[in-house]
Structure 1
């Protein structure tokens, strides 16, 4: 069985995210890692972008959703992003990891979620 995986690593987005009103007052930078398992093989694409998952288009739609509105939980944003990708692209599985730089004594806090179609 052939399987194709496309990854977007370290995508930087701004989002109003946090439990408190103060935390959501200003957009904060997040870093996203996205792993997408394509429904179809990535072999034999004939060098044609229309035959694959356009990762530029994916990154733009992820940025647009991330900057829209505000959320209290990182998990909510991850769930919304997974839903967006599974709905709009021919994917078998999507995994999203979101890093938030919120605790001064850590590199980051990270939430990872996955879903299959």
Structure 2
């Protein structure tokens, strides 16, 4: 099974065809390669609301259900992945750092 053409868009970095799915675990958006593949570790399905949903294939559930297709997360295959994110001030907070202000009671 393949995604419907109205779901397919392109990656801004590499131009590859992708689909945006909502994760079943927490509802966050995840880019997934639009082309189904036997090597994929995700199962994608279209919900009754018309949106695409994705879940990880695990040892407990290693195969997609009949209404799902196997896909690969786009971040795993993109030749131009985004740079790593930094904290807002550009530095990481040191573990055990001193509180910046006095304690107030």
Task: Give the TM-score of the pair, scaled to structure 1.
Answer: 0.27
Which structure: greater helix fraction?
Answer: 1
Determine which structure has greater relative contact order: mean sequence separation of CA pairs < 8 Å that are 6+ residues apart, divided by chain length.
1
Task: Give the TM-score of the pair, scaled to structure 2.
Answer: 0.29
Q: Which structure has the bigger radius of gyration?
A: 2
